[in-house]
């Protein structure tokens, strides 16, 4: 027979487990980016374009913001220990809502203009990615494909070159600074 003390103990343990679970998942939620102010962890460009932003949240709660999925996947992710990453997010191209990177679907379209010219567009729904690829061309990819992707850069978007916020605008020859090229 379960006594009052045993029942209270079980409820306390259950409550603590739920509370701890809520804390760990809350730490892995997307954080707010201050558009036009927050700088990319890799290239130090100000994050201006909601359609292409990405984030990573570590188990310790520290968050990193990126202006292009290529900054996250090519330059930052390979240097990390997967066990230390609580979650990674990208913005859905159509809705600009956060999508868990591992659950997203992507299109590599050499003609798309992303901030750092990695030309990967992110979607929450595979059907949206396929529709984009049908209309614009490109290759539909998943998270595993991103890990194997070559991450070659295309032409820089002229709009993005002006986001440095000073008189020393990036030239085409400067566009790879901060990306290990």
User: How many helices (DSSP H) and strands (DSSP E) are in the chain?
Assistant: 5, 7
Cα four-point dihedral sign 80, 81, 82, 85:
negative
Q: Furthest-apart CA pair in the chain: how many Å? A: 77
Q: Which two tokens stand for residue 38?
A: 């927050």
User: Which pLDDT score is estimated for 137?
Assistant: 94
Give every strand in the sheet of 98-100, ordered side by side. Answer: 63-66, 54-58, 85-91, 98-100
pLDDT of residue 165: 39
Integer distance in angstroms from the first to the last C-alpha of the chain?
Answer: 69
- Residue whose tokens read 């240097």: 79
Q: What is the pLDDT of residue 156?
A: 67
What tens-digit pLDDT sequence spans the chain (181 residues)?
Answer: 555 555 444 444 444 333 333 333 445 899 999 999 999 999 999 999 999 999 999 999 999 999 999 999 999 999 999 899 999 999 999 999 999 999 999 999 988 899 999 999 999 999 999 999 999 999 999 999 999 999 988 876 544 333 333 333 333 333 333 333 3
pLDDT of residue 19: 38
Q: Could you tell me if residue 44 is left (phi over 0), alpha (psi between -120 and 50 degrees) or otherwise beta? A: left
Check: pTM over 0.75? Answer yes or no.
no
At residue 66, what are phi and psi to the nearest 5 degrees?
-135, 145
Give dist(CA 78, CA 55) in Å, integer: 15
Predicted pLDDT of residue 152: 87
């Amino acid at each position: 027979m379960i006594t009052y003390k045993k029942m209270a103990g079980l409820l306390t343990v259950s409550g603590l487990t739920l509370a701890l679970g809520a804390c760990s998942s809350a730490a892995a939620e997307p954080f707010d980016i201050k558009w036009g102010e927050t700088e990319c962890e890799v290239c130090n460009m100000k994050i201006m374009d909601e359609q292409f932003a990405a984030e990573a949240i570590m188990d310790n709660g520290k968050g990193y913001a990126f202006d292009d999925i290529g900054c996250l996947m090519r330059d930052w992710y390979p240097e990390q220990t997967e066990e230390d990453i609580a979650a990674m997010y990208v913005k859905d191209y159509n809705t600009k809502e956060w999508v868990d990177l591992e659950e997203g679907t992507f299109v590599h379209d050499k003609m798309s203009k992303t901030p750092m010219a990695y030309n990967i567009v992110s979607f929450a729904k595979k059907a949206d990615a396929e529709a984009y690829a049908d209309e614009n061309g490109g290759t539909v990819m998943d998270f595993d494909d991103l890990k194997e992707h070559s991450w070659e850069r295309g032409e820089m978007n002229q709009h993005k070159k002006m986001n440095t916020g000073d008189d020393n605008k990036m030239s085409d020859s400067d566009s790879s600074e901060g990306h290990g090229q």
